[in-house]
Amino acid sequence: MTRTMTRAAPGLPAIAVFVAALLLGVDGPGSNLRVAAALLALVAVLSLLADDRPPLWAAAGVPALAALAAVAMLLGPLLPVAAEPYNPRADAVPPQPVRFDSVSPLDRVSAWLRRPETDLFTVRSQTPLNWRLAVLDRYDGVRWTSSAKFRPTGGRVPDEERQGRFYTVQQTLTLAGLRDRWLPAAQRPTWVAGVPKVAADPESGSLVATTDPKKGLTYQVTSRIARPEAADLDNSAATADPALLDFPEGPQRAAFARLARQAAGGAELPYQRAEALESFMRSAAKYDITAPPGHSLPGLDYFLRQSRRGTSEQFASTYALLARSLGLPSRVVVGFRPGERADGAFHVRTGDVLAWAEVKFDGVGWLAFDPTPPRSGSQDRHDVVSAVEKDRQRLKEQLGKATENKPRPKTDRGDGRATPGGGPAWWLVGVLTAVALAVCYLLLAAALPWWRRRRRRTAGDPGARVAGAWRQACDDLGLSADSALTAQEVTARGGHAHGDGPGVASHASGAYVKLCAIRPGAGRQRGRRRGVAAQRRRTSPDRPAHPRRTPVAPPAAPAQPAPMSDGRETSVADGMLWV
């Protein structure tokens, strides 16, 4: 085992194992911050326990360590490199996507609404939610389709967009009349069990069965439900994703953009713009299940400007396009309302089908918006309100109070990003940080050698002065401090490195042995030792201003011991200094 003067070195293997586990381990929920903090704390305790210096010396470094930690906490988030660490799993080759042909659920909305009493599935859950079936994020001017790449999974649903606040919900679903490969589940599934062969899309979390599911199939799903706070959306910009902002070319594009700006009004935050669009859609048209189906761009233009009646198919499709006109990345989701509660479960029928839109925000993720107004002309039987809608009302009240009490920065971009000038540029912060570090380094480099020599000379313990003088001799000769070497070996290495002149041997084995010899009255000769030490530093052969510490192979024959100032001789044998 190698001897070392570095007290924290025994903790390096544990740190290496921890880093390897982070890089090569399997991703999962939770944070490793506590484990990392505990590991660093234990390494720090190890360093203190192995420290042979007095406790007062260790306590002197606490203020410096606290100041360094405070500076790191303040400047760390401002540095341009403060980003997500590299994830090697992102470069792994995943299984091949599963291909299947199925009718888009959005095309079946009108047909399901005209036969509203057909049982589709039941859900046992403690929380009423909208049950998501399919996510459609591509629009070509005729149809909304999905860009999902479904990959086989043994249960875990990869989550590439985990961000923001959320809570988890357990569900047990039993299929009845739903004869489709799309599998319903709450907002963002993270785990599924009970389906013989299932595939999932890592981007959206949508689930499909690779074979036709049978009636009565029961499976369990764990879902992550977003629950942001007002502080999360305060000045949160919409995610910049060109694929989610794509709007087909056509004469309707300018009309949709103009109408979207009018609907948003004076809303400043991207989230408030999304809410303004939702309110506009609920009042701009009426819900009518007898309206003709379809969501082509000319059909949506006719729905919005002339007929003003339609189903959630038209409301959600139009909302998503209006949001994209404002720079809000959006998509259409097809699913079902919570359903009717009975016998401890939610019974979902064809009449519960619903299409809604989702908008993506930085640091929060996808948030749902329902632009479809209640059904007019009759009582709406959907008395079970989704928990997400309740959270939306709470969030709306919080944002309303925050807007009244806090001024907002002016924004003039379509995506809601603040104009420049709201804070220091990242490059300026980086330059100032580099300059500050350089100044600190120069000051430390200038003061540290003087302070080290003074500490070694003024040590109260004669043994500490002996060790300090010997280290100073090694520093003057440019030799690396190796505690495994004897004094005779260090002297020989100094002569080999700087030439076998007479000054080297006398400098290392003569003057410093005279200075460091433990004898009566050693503590009263501090001034004499300082003078001799200064003289030896000036007369060190070929001594550079900043000696490079390069290990040198030991020579065959050791140097002879030097006489003491009082006529006695010193002998170096087996690493011990005899006087």
In this structure, are 38 and 128 located in the same domain? no
3-state helix, strand, coil in the chain (%, to 5): 40, 15, 40
What is the spatial order of strands in the sheet that 340-342 belongs to?
188-193, 218-226, 166-175, 119-124, 345-349, 340-342
Query: Is a pLDDT exceeding 70 seen at residue 212?
Result: yes
Whether the full predicted model's pTM is greater than 0.95, yes or no, is: no
Based on the structure, what is the number of domains in the chain?
3
Q: Distance between CA 508 and CA 159 in Å, rounded?
A: 65
CA distance 561 to 576: 13
| In-domain check, residue 78 | no
Q: How confident is the model at residue 202 (pLDDT cuts 50, 70, 90)?
A: confident
Residue 418 covered by a domain: no
CB-CB contact of 22 with 39 (8 Å): no
Strands (E), 151-200: 151-153, 166-175, 182-183, 188-193, 198-200
Last residue of a domain, one of 383, 405, 427: 405
Residues 129 and 198 in one domain: yes
With cut-offs at 50, 70 and 90, classify the pLDDT of residue 23.
low
Please check whether residues 551 and 469 belong to one and the same domain: yes
477 and 330, same domain (yes or no): no
Report residue 336: phi and psi, to 5°.
-145, 150
List, for residues 185-200, the tens digit of each pLDDT value.
Answer: 998 999 999 998 899 9
Tell whether 470 and 390 lie within a shared domain: no
Q: Closest Cα partner for 11 from 36, 37, 33, 40?
A: 40
Q: Does residue 111 sit in the same domain as residue 23?
A: no
pLDDT at position 479, please? 63
Claim to verify: residue 115 and residue 5 sit in the same structural domain: no
Asked if residue 369 has pLDDT above 50, the reply is: yes
Residues 476, 560, single domain; the answer is: yes
User: How confident is the model over 72-120, as pLDDT tens digits?
Assistant: 767 666 665 555 666 776 777 766 677 766 778 999 999 999 999 999 9
pLDDT in the model for residue 48: 66
- Tell me the C-alpha distance between 497 and 518, whole Å: 29
pLDDT tens column, 235-281: 677 777 888 999 998 888 999 999 999 999 888 888 889 999 999 99
> Are 119 and 6 in the same domain?
no
Whether residue 113 sits in one domain with residue 26: no
Check whether residue 495 and residue 381 sit in a common domain: no
The answer to whether the beta carbons of residues 163 and 363 sit under 8 Å apart is yes
Q: List, for residues 318-328, the tens digit of each pLDDT value.
A: 999 999 999 99
102 vs 535 pLDDT, higher one: 102
pLDDT mean across residues, the chain = 75
Q: Is residue 316 part of a domain?
A: yes
Tens digits of per-residue pLDDT, 346-355? 999 999 999 9
Question: Using 50, 70 and 90 to split pLDDT, how confident is the model at 305?
Answer: confident
- Please say whether the beta carbons of 250 and 141 come within 8 A: yes
Give a yes or no: residue 435 inside a domain.
Answer: no
Does an H or E element contain 290, and which? none
CB 472 within 8 A of CB 533: yes
Question: Is 204 inside any structural domain?
Answer: yes
> Which of 31, 52, 73 is a domain's end point?
52
Residue that is last in its domain, among 11, 32, 52: 52
Q: Is residue 326 part of a domain?
A: yes
Residue reference for tokens 């499709």: 317
Asked if residue 131 and residue 7 are part of one domain, the reply reads: no
Domain that holds residue 474: 458-579
* Residue 162 falls inside a structural domain: yes
Confidence check: pLDDT of 203 > 50: yes
Is 90 a member of any domain? no
Complete DSSP assignment for 489-539: HHHHHHHHHH-S-HHHHIIIIIIHHHHH---TTGGG-HHHHHHHHHHHHHT
